[in-house]
Amino acid sequence: VTRWSARFPGDSRVLAVAIALAALVAGLTRTPPGAETDTVFVETAVQLARDGADRSGRERPLMVQGADGQWLQPLPVHLASAFVRTGLEPGIAARLVASTAWAVSVWLVYLVGVRLFVKPRAAVLAAALFAATPAGLTLAASGGAALTALPPLLAWFAAVASCLERPRRDVLALGAAALGLGVYTQPAGVLMAPIFLTTGLAALATRHREPALHLSAVTGLVVTLVPLVVWYWQHPGTWVETMGRWAVHLAHIRDPFQGLVAFARWDVAGRRASDYWHYFSPVYLFLTGTVFAAAVAALLPVGLAGCGDRMRRDGWWLVVMAWIAAPLAAALLDAPRSIALAVALLPIGALLAAGGVERLLATRTSVGAVTAWSLAALAVVEGLLRW
C-alpha cells in the first residue's frame, strides 16, 4: 500500500480534470435527496431572458430584482439567463450554472492544493474529496447561486498560494479582482470578499510584507467594485434591499457609530457567536450527511493538527485561517447552519481532509496508509452513494 501510495497518481492534472468533469456531469444528471430547485432563481433567469429586464423593469440590471421581489446578485442569474436564451430548459440552465461553478471549483481546489501540498496526489485527493461532498452535490443539483461564490474565492487562494513562493503584484491583483467578483455572486459573497482578502493578506504577510504587494491586492479588489459604485449612483433606491441586507445598512453608512453600536449589541454579538460556533458542530458538518461525508470527521482534525507538516509552512496558515474565517460571513448575516452561505467550508474542509490523508501516509506504516486510503475512499463512496 505504501509503495502504491508513492506512485499515485500518474498524471495528476488529467485526474483533476476528470474529477471536475465528473462533478459537472453529477450536478447535471441526478438530483440527490434534499436538493430542491431554486424556483425564484429559475423564474428570474427566464424573465431576464424573455424581457431583457427584471421585475423592476430595469434592462440589463446589475442588481436583479427576483421574481419574488427579493434582490439577487447578477453573475449567476445573468449566466443562467444567457443559457436560457440558447434554448436550454430553464431548470437545466440553472443547474448548468451551479454545476459549472462546482466543476471549476474542483479544478481550482486542485490548483490550490498543488501549491500548498508537497505532493500532487494530495491536491488530487482534495479535489476528489471536495467533489464528493454531499453539500456540493445538493447545491449543484439545486441550481441556485450558492456555489458561484467559490471560483472567485479559490482563484484568490490560488493567487495567494502562488505568491507565497514567488510574490507577483499582477498575480495578486488579478486574484483579488477575482475575489471581488464574488460580490456579484451570492449574498455571503459580499462579506466574503473583505474577510478572505484579510485572511489571504495575513497569510501572505507571514512571508512578504511589502506594502506595494498588499496594495496591489486591495486595488484589484476595489477595481471590481467600480460597477457597483456606478450602479448605486444611478439607482440609490436599491441599496437598502441589496447591500443594506447583505453587508452594511444604509443608516449605518450615514452614522457609522450607530452601526458599530448595532453591530456590537450584546445579544446580537452573542447570537452571532453561537451561530458561528454551530457551523463547526461535528454533528452539522459530518453526522447529518448534508455537508461532509462522515469519514471526513476523522481526516479533517488530523489535517488540521498536522497539515503544517505536509504543507508548506505559510500555506498552512492560509488554510487554517481560511477554515476559521469560512463561516464568518454566514454568521454575520444571522444565518444559522446555512451551507449555501457558508459554502467556503467545503473546499477548505476538503483541503484539510487531504492534509489529514497526507499526514497519515507520512507515518510510513501500513496501518497509516490503510487508514488514510480507507477513510478517503469511504468519504468519496459516501458522496457517490448520495449522488
Partner 1 sequence: MRATLLHGLAASALTLAVYAWGLDRVPPYLLHDEIKGALQSQALVETGRDLNGRFLPLYFQEPGFTVGRDPASIYFTALVLRVLPLSEASIRLPSAMVGALGVGLTLVLARLWWSGFVVPWAAAATLALAPGYFLHSRLGHQSVYPVPFVLLWLIALTLYLQRGRLAFVYASGAALGLGLYSYLAAVITMPTCLAATVALLAHRRDWRAVRAVILAFGIMLAPLGLWQFVQPDRYADIVASYRVAPAAEAGGRAALPAVAEAIRGRVDTYWDAFNPGRLFFTGESSLNVSTREAGILLLPVAVLLVAGIVHLVRARRVPLHVLLLAMLVLAPLPAAVMADVEIRRWLVALPLAALVAAAGVQAMLGGSRAARVSAACLLASMPLLFAGFLRDYFTEYPARAGQWFGGNIRGAVTEVLDRAEASPPPAVYLHLGVPYLDAYWKFYATARGQSALIARAVYFGSVEDLPPIPEGALLITHAGAGPASVLLAEGWQVAATASEPDGTPSFAVFERSRRP
Binding site for partner 1 (CB under 8 A): 266-267, 269-278, 280-284, 287-288
At closest approach, how far in Å is the CB of 315 from partner 1? 21
The nearer residue to partner 1, 13 or 278, going by C-beta atoms, is: 278
What ranges make up the beta strands (E) of 263-335? none
At closest approach, how far in Å is the CB of 299 from partner 1? 17
The nearer residue to partner 1, 29 or 274, going by C-beta atoms, is: 274
The nearer residue to partner 1, 277 or 385, going by C-beta atoms, is: 277
The nearer residue to partner 1, 143 or 336, going by C-beta atoms, is: 336
At closest approach, how far in Å is the CB of 295 from partner 1? 16
The nearer residue to partner 1, 59 or 267, going by C-beta atoms, is: 267
Q: Cβ(343)–Cβ(137) under 8 Å?
A: no
Q: How far apart are CA 126 and CA 113, in angstroms?
A: 7
The nearer residue to partner 1, 215 or 268, going by C-beta atoms, is: 268
Q: What would the DSSP string read from start to end of 119-186?
A: SHHHHHHHHHHHHT-HHHHHHHHHT-SGGGGHHHHHHHHHHHHHHHHS--HHHHHHHHHHHHHGGGT-
Q: How far apart are CA 130 and CA 349, in angstroms?
A: 8
At closest approach, how far in Å is the CB of 275 from partner 1? 8
The nearer residue to partner 1, 29 or 281, going by C-beta atoms, is: 281
At closest approach, how far in Å is the CB of 267 from partner 1? 7
At closest approach, how far in Å is the CB of 283 from partner 1? 4
Cis peptide before 9, with omega less than 30 degrees from 0?
yes
Query: 206-245 b/e with 16+ CB inside 10 Å = b?
Result: eebeeeebbebbeebbeebeeebeebbeeeeebbeebbbe
Q: What would the DSSP string read from start to end of 329-357?
A: HHHHTT-TT-TTTSTTHHHHHHHHHHHHH
Q: How far is CA 309 from CA 116, 303, 305, 314, 352, in A?
A: 11, 9, 9, 11, 12
The nearer residue to partner 1, 4 or 266, going by C-beta atoms, is: 266
Q: How far apart are CA 141 and CA 387, in angstroms?
A: 10
At closest approach, how far in Å is the CB of 278 from partner 1? 7
Q: Give the amino acid at 88.
A: L
Give the DSSP letter of residue 238: G
Largest CA distance in the chain: 65
- Strand partners of residue 71: 65
At closest approach, how far in Å is the CB of 270 from partner 1? 3
Q: How far apart are CA 133 and CA 138, in angstroms?
A: 9
Q: What are phi and psi of 206, to 5 degrees?
A: -65, -20
Nearest of 161, 197, 198 to residue 178 by alpha carbon: 197
At closest approach, how far in Å is the CB of 277 from partner 1? 5
The nearer residue to partner 1, 64 or 325, going by C-beta atoms, is: 325
